[in-house]
Amino acid sequence: MTAAPPKSLTRNQSLVLSALRAGGTPQGAYALLDGLRDQGLRAPVQVYRALERLQALGLVHRLESLNAFVACSHDHGGTEDAEATPGPAVFVICEHCAATRELTDPIIGGRIERLARTEGFGLHTSSIELRGLCAVCTAREAEETETTADP
């Protein structure tokens, strides 16, 4: 699904978005740059500029705790589009394998809005990032502990 680019992206923007979608895990600006050198990109600022625009379009999120970026895997309902996913993105980030899932939870969203309202706070953006061990890595760790268990 993931909603095709709504407006026309420029060349650099398309390149960066494709690179982000290709890589399964969050990528830093310099990693993106390295991957796009053969496509003609030369300097960090080119990547940062594309990322800035992509974020503004809601196609990309920045993972603050990682200094990295991911392609959005939802429709957060920026326009009149039906079936928008309610609530802000909640990122679940594995500290071991870097696998990252983007979830949403309307209750968290509502709660946050309520909180902001109570504070008289004009909410612009929210960043919610959960860090820990993903299911796969948890299983693998348990396995290893078993194997290496001191008897």
Partner DNA sequence: GATGATATGTTATAATATAACACTTCATCC
Partner DNA sequence: GGATGAAGTGTTATATTATAACATATCATC
User: What string marks each residue from 21 to 60 as x (binds DNA by CB under 7 A) or -?
Assistant: -------xxxx--------xxxxxxx-xxx--x-------
99: region left, alpha or beta (phi > 0 left; psi from -120 to 50 alpha): beta
Instruction: Give the sign of the dihedral formed by CA 41, CA 42, CA 44, CA 45.
Output: negative
Alpha-carbon distances, residue 33 vs 12, 15, 98, 106 (angstroms): 11, 10, 19, 35
Q: Is 98 in the site for a second copy (CB under 8 A)?
A: no
Please report which helix (H) or strand (E) contains residue 21, including its range. helix 11-22
Q: Find the binder of a second copy among 97, 101, 143, 144 (CB under 8 A).
A: 101
Residue 24 partner contact from Zn ion, a second copy, DNA, none using kind-dependent CB cut-offs of 5 to 8 Å = none
Residue 30 partner contact from DNA, a second copy, Zn ion, none using kind-dependent CB cut-offs of 5 to 8 Å = DNA
Q: Find the binder of a second copy among 14, 25, 55, 126 (CB under 8 A).
A: 126
Q: Is 151 in the site for a second copy (CB under 8 A)?
A: no
Instruction: Give the sign of the dihedral formed by CA 55, CA 13, CA 64, CA 141.
Output: positive
For binding to DNA (CB under 7 A), which residues are involved? 10-13, 28-31, 40-46, 48-50, 53, 67-68
